[in-house]
Chain A
Amino acid sequence: MVKKIKPNLSVKIGKLEMKNPVMVASGTFGYAAEFRELMDLKKLGAIVTKTITLKGRQGNLPPRTCETPAGMLNSIGLENPGIDRFIGEKLVFLKKLGVPVIVSIAAENNPEEFITLANKLNGFMEIAAIELNISCPNLQKDKLISQDPRATFALVEAVRRVTEKCLIVKLSPNVSSITEIALSAVQAGADALALINTLGGMCIDVNKQTPKLGAWVGGLSGPAIRPVAVKMVWEVYNKTKVPIIGMGGIIDVSSALEFFLAGAAAISVGTANFVNPRASLEIITGLERYMAEHNLQNLSALTGKLKACKN
Chain B
Amino acid sequence: MPAAQIKTKIITNRRLKANYWHLEFESGLIARSARPGQFVNIRVNDLLEPLLRRPLSIHGVKGARVKVIYEVLGKGTQALSQRKSGEFLDIIGPLGNGFDYPSAAKSKGKYILVAGGMGVAPLLFLAEKLKTLKPLVLIGARAKELIICTPEFKALGAEIKLATDDGSAGFNGRVTQLLEIELKQTRAAVIFACGPHPMLKAAAQIAASSQLPAQLSLEAHMACGIGACLGCVVSTKDGYKSVCKDGPVFSGQDLIW
Complex contacts, A271 vs chain B, CB 8 Å: 51, 223
**Chain A's nearest CB lies how many Å from the CB of B20?**
22
Whether B226 is near chain A, meaning CB under 8 Å from some CB there, is: yes
Whether A71 is near chain B, meaning CB under 8 Å from some CB there, is: yes
Check B53 against A273 for contact (C-beta < 8 Å).
no
- The prevalent SS among residues of A at the interface is loop
With A and B bound together, what is the CA distance between A64 and B52 in angstroms?
14
Whether A116 is near chain B, meaning CB under 8 Å from some CB there, is: no
Check B231 against A37 for contact (C-beta < 8 Å).
no
Complex contacts, A35 vs chain B, CB 8 Å: 226, 228
Check B51 against A30 for contact (C-beta < 8 Å).
no
With A and B bound together, what is the CA distance between A139 and B49 in angstroms?
29
What 0/1 pattern do residues 267 to 305 of A give for CB contact below 8 A with B? 000010111111000000000000000000000000000
Check B232 against A38 for contact (C-beta < 8 Å).
no
Whether A243 is near chain B, meaning CB under 8 Å from some CB there, is: no
**Listed stretches B2-10, B104-112, B117-125, B135-143; interface member:** B2-10
Q: Considering the complex, give the chain A residue whose CB is closest to the CB of B47.
A: A70
Check B230 against A76 for contact (C-beta < 8 Å).
yes
Check A273 against B228 for contact (C-beta < 8 Å).
yes
Check A65 against B5 for contact (C-beta < 8 Å).
no
Whether A34 is near chain B, meaning CB under 8 Å from some CB there, is: yes
Check B51 against A222 for contact (C-beta < 8 Å).
yes
Given contacts A34-B228, A223-B48, A276-B90, contact A72 B240 (CB under 8 A): no
Whether B196 is near chain A, meaning CB under 8 Å from some CB there, is: no
Whether B35 is near chain A, meaning CB under 8 Å from some CB there, is: no
Check A274 against B49 for contact (C-beta < 8 Å).
no
Check A79 against B223 for contact (C-beta < 8 Å).
no
What 0/1 pattern do residues 218 to 257 of B give for CB contact below 8 A with A? 0001111111111111110001100001000000000000
Check A66 against B228 for contact (C-beta < 8 Å).
no
Complex contacts, B233 vs chain A, CB 8 Å: 59, 62, 64, 79
Complex contacts, B222 vs chain A, CB 8 Å: 65
Check B51 against A79 for contact (C-beta < 8 Å).
no
Whether B43 is near chain A, meaning CB under 8 Å from some CB there, is: yes
Whether B157 is near chain A, meaning CB under 8 Å from some CB there, is: no
Residue positions of B touching A, CB distance < 8 A: 2-5, 43, 48-53, 90, 92, 221-235, 239-240, 245
**23 cross-chain CB contacts under 8 A:** A27-B229, A28-B229, A29-B228, A30-B224, A34-B228, A35-B226, A37-B2, A37-B3, A37-B4, A38-B3, A59-B233, A62-B233, A62-B234, A64-B233, A67-B51, A72-B52, A79-B230, A223-B51, A273-B224, A274-B229, A275-B43, A275-B52, A278-B5
Q: Can you list the 7 inter-chain pairs with the closest CB atoms, starting with the nearest?
A: A30-B228, A65-B231, A37-B2, A34-B228, A70-B48, A274-B224, A64-B231
A-B contact sample (6 more), CB < 8 A, given A38-B5, A62-B240, A65-B232: A30-B226, A30-B227, A34-B228, A37-B4, A59-B240, A79-B240
